[in-house]
Structures are given as structure tokens and as C-alpha cells.
Amino acid sequence: MTMERLKVDTEGISRAVKILRAGGLVAFPTDTVYGLGADAKSEAAVTRLARAKGRPEGKPFSLLVASVEMAREIAIFDPRAEILARAFWPGALTLVLPLRCEAGITPRATAGRASIGLRLPDHPVSHALLQEFGAPIAAPSANPSGSPSPLCASDVANGLEGKISALLEAPPAPKGLDSTVIDLTSQRPRLLRAGAIAADSIEAALSDLPGESHPFQ
């Protein structure tokens, strides 16, 4: 497979969206690291995504969304989720929430689970891509599973050349750290992955809720 190298302009974004709608894979910069995107509602596209990364079976993918409104159409937000979304979105926080049955997300993305990880990124390229695509994108880091997360376009090309459809080439991702992942599907939040947003900042945001002075399990 020949990987298209796309400029970060209107034409490049439109071409990337066309590829995603056809079930292809597109790497693009986010505010954390480079992501590798596929249509989250397409079983075939997410299967290609797992194959390109060498992703182990049974491991779900998180989704990127264009807005909080889109996120609410996919998952159920409780007061904790609303607070954290207001405090840290757009930004480097992934929230794992109960999945809405009617959301249309392929079970291949969720690994058959009743929950989904969602993030609203704070980067102009990913924002433009999501807005034009108009639907959630399954978007893990754009690297083979087990290798370091990619910080620049050359990292992506070195790891995935010949395995993906296109690469939106842009300056290095600004943070260079993966997102922090918080699971809100149980009574108390769980920190699943430390990342760009400190756990104590999340605790502080939740501290005004009853019973949440020390919120993490």
C-alpha cells in the first residue's frame, strides 16, 4: 500500500476525510501525539486499524470527537463526566463512559464492551478533520503496538509506511505525552493511564462533588 503524504490545508483535510469515509486509515497530529484514525462506525475500517497496529485482540480503541455534543450522542454523561469535560476538553483527557446502544459504534472498536473512551482534542488539524468528517474517529497512537508513541510525521512513516492510506504532515505534536485516561463507569473514578493531565488536577476538579474529596479507587 502506498501511503499518501497530505499537506495540512483545506485540500489535504478533504482528501483525508474522503479516505476515512472509504474505510481507509489516516495518521494525523493531535495535541498529545500523532494518532491513527479510522471510521469508528465501520467494522472493516477498525479491523484494518487493528491489523496495521498489530493490536492484541480484545483491546478496545478510544474515539476522538468533534464536540461535547457528539460525545453525548455516543456515551452517557453523569455529573462527574460533565465536570471533567468542562474543565479539560478540548484537551488531553480521555473519559471512559457507558456506551449508548444507539450510538452505532462498531463492536470491533469497543472490543464488545458496554463502555467507550472519548476525547475532544485541542489541535487545529484534528479539529478540522473531525468537523469535516462529522462522526467519531477511532484513533489510537499512530505506531505499531508496543513501540513508542509518535511525536512527528517521520516517526509515523518509519513505523507504518505501507500499512496505512495517508499521513497528514504537520509540526511535531505539542505535548508529546499520551492523554490521561479516567474510567467513570463505576461508583468511583479509576485512573487507567497517567498522561498529560495530572491526576491531582482531576481530583481537584471533582472535589466539590459529594463523596469525591478523594475520588480515585
Give the pTM.
0.94
- The distance of Cα 128 from the centroid of its chain, to the nearest Å, equals 15
Question: Could you write out the DSSP letters of every residue in the chain?
Answer: -PPEEEESSHHHHHHHHHHHHTT--EEEE-SSSEEEEEETT-HHHHHHHHHHHTPPTT----EE-SSHHHHHHHB---HHHHHHHHHH-SSSEEEEEEBPGGG---HHHHTT-SEEEEE----HHHHHHHHHH-S-EE--BSS-TTSPPP-SHHHHHHHHTTTSSEEEE-SPPSS-SPPEEEE-SSSS-EEEE--SS-HHHHHHHHTTSTT-SS---
pLDDT exceeding 90 applies to what percent of the chain? Answer: 88
When pLDDT is averaged across residues 159-168 and rounded to a whole number, the result is 97
Q: What is the pLDDT of residue 211?
A: 63
Q: What is the pLDDT of residue 216?
A: 63
Q: What is the pLDDT of residue 1?
A: 83
Give the residue extent of every domain in the chain: 4-206
- The predicted-structure confidence for 95-129, as pLDDT tens digits, reads as follows 999 999 999 999 999 999 999 999 999 999 999 99
Q: What is the pLDDT of residue 156?
A: 96
| Grid cell for residue 96 | 471512559
- The predicted-structure confidence for 179-214, as pLDDT tens digits, reads as follows 999 999 998 899 999 999 999 999 999 987 876 555
Maximum distance among all alpha carbons in the chain? 54
Residue range 4-206 in CATH 3.90.870.10: yes
Q: What is the pLDDT of residue 56?
A: 85
Worst-scoring range by mean pLDDT, 45-59, 67-81, 163-177? 163-177
